[in-house]
Every structure is written in C-alpha cells, then in structure tokens.
Amino acid sequence: MEGYVAVAQEGELKPQQMKRVVIGGKRLLLCNSKGDLHCVDEMCSHEDYSLYLGCIKDGKIKCSLHGSYFDLATGNPTCEPADQPIRTYPVKVSSGQVWVKA
C-alpha cells in the first residue's frame, strides 16, 4: 500500500464520529458516516474554519460557522455559502488498521 499511512485502528470511530489526523503536514479529518470511512481536508473551503467543529449527517459534513455541507465522498459543497469543494483522500482498511493516502 505505497503512499498510505495508518491513521486509526479498525473500529476506532463509531458512526458519525471523526478524528483529526496530520499527514505530511496536511490537517485532515477521518470521518465515519454510517460505517463508511472518508478522509477530507479539515478546513472549510468557504472560511478558514475547522470542520471538526461541525457534524456528520447523511454522508455529509457540516461547517458549523455558516452551515455549509460538503459531500464526504466527493468533497463537493451541497449548499451555500460554500461554492468550492474540499479535497478528499483515498481510505483503505487492512490488517486491522485504517490507512489514508494523502
């Protein structure tokens, strides 16, 4: 799994939980949305505000500052005021670990 970094234990995150991780200086969020794991940039694309302060709902993450939602699979904003996507990163589960490629 070249380029992947172990960031969590399998099963560490319960549904709707997230974890801050840093890979190569990038601040990311590992998110569990109903059992599906996603990794996205930590900061909102609309304002420099941490999405960690928001919540996960129906495959999306909410920015608690202005209420924008981002699709966790694509990074695309699903409502205003955000109009730019956040970056997403590949996630794999193997050997009891969660791995992210950033």
Quote the pTM value.
0.95
Are residues 10 and 3 in contact, defined by beta-carbon separation less than 8 angstroms?
Answer: no
Q: For tokens 């791995």, name the residue.
A: 99
Model pLDDT for residues 65-85, shown as the tens digit of each residue: 999 999 999 999 999 999 999
1 confidence band (pLDDT: 50, 70, 90): confident
Quick one: pLDDT at residue 53?
97
Q: Quick check: 51 and 43 in contact, CB under 8 A?
A: yes
DSSP state of 14: P
Judge whether 18 and 57 are in contact, CB under 8 Å.
Answer: no
Share of the chain above pLDDT 90, in %: 97
Could you give the CA distance from residue 99 to residue 102 in angstroms, rounded to a whole number? 10
Exposed e or buried b per residue across 23-56, where buried means at least 16 C-beta atoms within 10 angstroms of its C-beta? eeeeebbbbbbeeebbbbbbbbbbeebebeebeb
- Give the pLDDT of residue 51: 98
Sorted by where each starts, the structural domains of the chain and their CATH numbers stand as: 4-101 (2.102.10.10)
Looking at the chain, how many residues does it have? 102
The pLDDT of residue 90: 98
Task: For residue range 15-47, list pLDDT tens digits in order.
Answer: 999 999 999 999 999 999 999 999 999 999 998
